[in-house]
Every structure is written in C-alpha cells, then in structure tokens.
Structure 1
Amino acid sequence: MECSSSSSSSTTSQKHEVFINFRSEDTRKTFTSHLNGALERVDIKTYVDNNNLERGEEIPITLVRAIEEAKLSVIVFSKNYADSKWCLDELLKILECGRTKRHIIVPVFYDIDPSDVRNQRGSYAEAFVNHERNFDEKKVLEWRNGLVEAANYAGWDCYNKVTRTEYEIVEDFTKDVLEKLNRTNVSDLDRQITKMEQLAELQRQFYESISTFENMLNRDATIQRVTELKMERSIRMLRLTPDMLSYMENSNDNNKSVFENMF
C-alpha cells in the first residue's frame, strides 16, 4: 500500500513549489504523470518521492520537509487512495500546513465521487473497515476528519468526464495552479506597491502645497521604488531563474563596455 509524491525534483535540496499527494498504483501512469508534465512545461517544479514506503514505516522526515517547503499541495483522491495509511498521514501533514502556514491546498477527485471521499462511502468505506481493525481509534478518527476537511476545499471534480478529455482537464488545472502560485509569489510585492503608490500620491499633494526641491526628491524616490518593485514583480511572474538574471546582468555589462569603447 504505497503513496507517492510526484515531481521533476527528487530531493528537497532542489527548490520545489508543489507537492503532489497521490496513490501510486492508481494514477502514477495516468493523471499524475500528465499533470507533472504539464506543470514542468510552465516551469513549476514539483516534488517526487521515488522511495516506496514499506509497511509499518512512518513518513520519512524528507517527505515532511517537502510538504512544509512547498507553497501548494495537490491531493489526488482516487478509488484506492484511502487504502494507504501513508497517503492519509501525508494528508494530515498537508492540512496542518494549510492551517498554520500560507499553504495552498487543491484537491482533485479522479475517478471518485467527491461525496464518497467526504462521507467515506464505497471504496473509502471498505478501506476504513480495514483501518479500524489495524489502527487505534484516535488515528482512524484523525484520518476520517482529514478527508472531510480536505474534500471541502475548492477543488477539481474529474469524476464525471463527459464532455472533456483528461488532457483538457490537466491543462486547465495547470493554469489554475500557476495562477494560484503567481498570486502567492507576488502578494507581498502587491501590498508594498499599493502602499508606496499611496505614499507617492500624498507626496504629490504635499509638493503642490509646498513646492520645495526636497519634497520633489522625496516623491521621485518613492516613484523610483514603485518602479523597482514592479520590475521585481514582473521577474517573479515570468519565473526567471537566477541563471537568466545573471545572464541579463552580464549582457548589460558587456553592452556598456562596448558603448564606452566607442568613445
């Protein structure tokens, strides 16, 4: 009974943004692999665990850290998801991060009715019959409550795929994840930009009432800071890597040298 997290990044030393919690035997070669590929195409790194957990093991510290370091977790609920204690334990950690950190949680209901997850019916009811025989009552109750909490998050219902293909669903889901991450990545800058723009407006009004050189310089400095913050915002939205930024700086230095040598 294994549960895996999936990604282009195999260790937490490589920065990842998304942790994918899923039942390996259900979706590794279908939805999760398609989702992983789609996320890679838009430069979103996800976490993959290539080491299957053996029966009786607790979640390794590397997986706990991977969940904590991610900005967003995708929980792929499938028919056999609840069979795995490790999927359920990862789920509890994800929910903990959602409550204590600014951690985004997005459930996906793949080949399973959301109400079956929320109410533990069907294959989920069968899974909990086994869990109640093998685990203590407190742990089972935590898992049950965790499923209810996670199923109540705004998510994606891929159970009734009548008019849409899996490819279309994955592409739309990827866009949604990208938008959520982008909003998170620039939210601090948006707050700063708003405050600085408000300050610039106050400084403009002050300069119009008291037209001194110093007041003009103060306003100009604020406007310059707004410009810098907006540039940083654009860089984050474009998801430029440090290598790309280094190349841009080197290119600017080279162009400057060529210009200076002309005179």
Structure 2
Amino acid sequence: MTSSSSSHCNVFLSFRGTDTRKNFISHLYQALVDRGITTFKDDETITIGKPFPQEILTAIQNSIFAIITISKNFASSMWCLIELQSIMKLQNRKQYVIVPIFYGVKPSDLRDEEGDFLKQLKEGNISSFVEEVPKWKAALKNVSTLQGCNPTNL
C-alpha cells in the first residue's frame, strides 16, 4: 500500500522504514503533502521473501524527484538497495532530481570499504546476492557524491 498512486507522483521517498518511517519520514511526507506535492511513500513494511513490488519501480519511473534518506541500516535492506539502484539509473534523465539525505551517516561512510555501513552488504540476506552487491556498492558510492543534506543542519 502506498500513500500516493504510483501512476504519477512528483516525489518518490526512498528510506529504511525501521530507521526513519515513524519519525523523520512521517514529518517529511506530511510537509510535502501539506504543500500540495504528490508524494509516493511505501506505507507498509515489505515482507521478507516477497517479490519486489512492481508498483514501487513504476513510482520511481513516473516521479520527477527522488529523496533518498540514507540511514544507518539502509544497506541492510535489499529493497532499499533495489530502489537506490533504480533511482540512480535515472540520474542522467533530463529533469530528474535526486536529493540524498544523510540521516545519521556521512557521505564518506558509503565509500568506506572497511566501515560498518558497507559491512551490511556482507551480512544477512544481502550477501547472498553476489551478482548484485557490486552494483549496489556502485550506486551507494555514486549517491554519496551528490549534493545532499543532513537533517541536523536543516
């Protein structure tokens, strides 16, 4: 279930639900909606083992703006990594805007091969997707180079 139809939305919110859904994301979403901005936000946690919802990929494709909230456990979620990879593929699309928000992490954490953030790619369910891990690492490194913001500075 989503807060907005995937057929058309201005903004796609990508985030790790367990880290940010009930605090930062709920406030960000409400602020966008209050300003009349059509926003896609996954309202329910995605069950492990279920196929990645096509509705989410469609929403990414149909949006013109992506806000990626990268939090401490972002890289432990295959769904977050799939969203990120899909969003970053659109980076060169004319008039597609990507804004990373570094929530409790620094951009350099996404590039630190020995750091705790990237170690998540070697643990749990993520490590079993051997062919995808290098693509996800590349997407994380790419997004870390974009101009973003830190909520503590807002």
Mapped pair 1:96 → 2:82: no
State the 1:8 CA deviation. 4.2
Matched with 1:127 is 120
Matched with 1:34 is 27
TM-score, structure 2 as length reference: 0.88
| One-letter amino acid of the structure 1 residue matched with residue 147 of structure 2 | A
SS of alignment partner, residue 32 of structure 2: helix
Give the conservation status (yes or no) of the 8 Å contact 1:8–1:45: no
Alignment: residue pair count: 153
Give the conservation status (yes or no) of the 8 Å contact 1:118–1:147: yes
Give the conservation status (yes or no) of the 8 Å contact 1:80–1:123: no
Matched with 2:38 is 45
SS of alignment partner, residue 25 of structure 2: helix
SS of alignment partner, residue 43 of structure 1: coil
| One-letter amino acid of the structure 2 residue matched with residue 139 of structure 1 | E
| One-letter amino acid of the structure 2 residue matched with residue 134 of structure 1 | S
Q: Are the structure 2 counterparts of residues 71 and 133 from structure 1 closer, same or farther at C-alpha, using a change threshold of 3 Å?
A: closer
Residue deviations 1:16-42 (CA, integer Å, cap 9, x gap): 200000000100111111111111221
Q: CA RMSD in A?
A: 2.1
Which structure carries more relative contact order (alpha carbon 8 Å, separation 6+)? 2
SS of alignment partner, residue 45 of structure 2: coil
Structure 1, gaps ≥5 residues long: 170-263
Alpha-carbon separation, structure 2, partners of 1:56 and 1:119: 29
Give the conservation status (yes or no) of the 8 Å contact 1:8–1:40: no
Q: Which runs of 4+ in 1 moved over 4 A?
A: none
Alpha-carbon separation, structure 2, partners of 1:132 and 1:52: 17
| One-letter amino acid of the structure 2 residue matched with residue 50 of structure 1 | D
Match of 2:144 among 120, 138, 151: 151
Residue deviations 1:115-157 (CA, integer Å, cap 9, x gap): 1123355431330221674221x31100000001111111102
Whichever structure has more helix as a proportion of its residues is: 1
Matched with 1:213 is none
Match of 2:79 among 75, 82, 86: 86
SS of alignment partner, residue 26 of structure 2: helix
SS of alignment partner, residue 156 of structure 1: coil
Structure with greater Cα Rg: 1
Q: Are the structure 2 counterparts of residues 101 and 50 from structure 1 closer, same or farther at C-alpha, using a change threshold of 3 Å?
A: same
Give the conservation status (yes or no) of the 8 Å contact 1:114–1:157: no
Indicate the percent of aligned positions where both proteins have the same amino acid: 34
Residue deviations 1:235-257 (CA, integer Å, cap 9, x gap): xxxxxxxxxxxxxxxxxxxxxxx
Matches within 5 A, 1:1-263: 8-9=3-4, 11-13=5-7, 15-120=8-113, 122-130=115-123, 133-136=127-130, 138-158=131-151, 161=152, 169=154
Residue deviations 1:92-130 (CA, integer Å, cap 9, x gap): 100112224531100000111221123355431330221
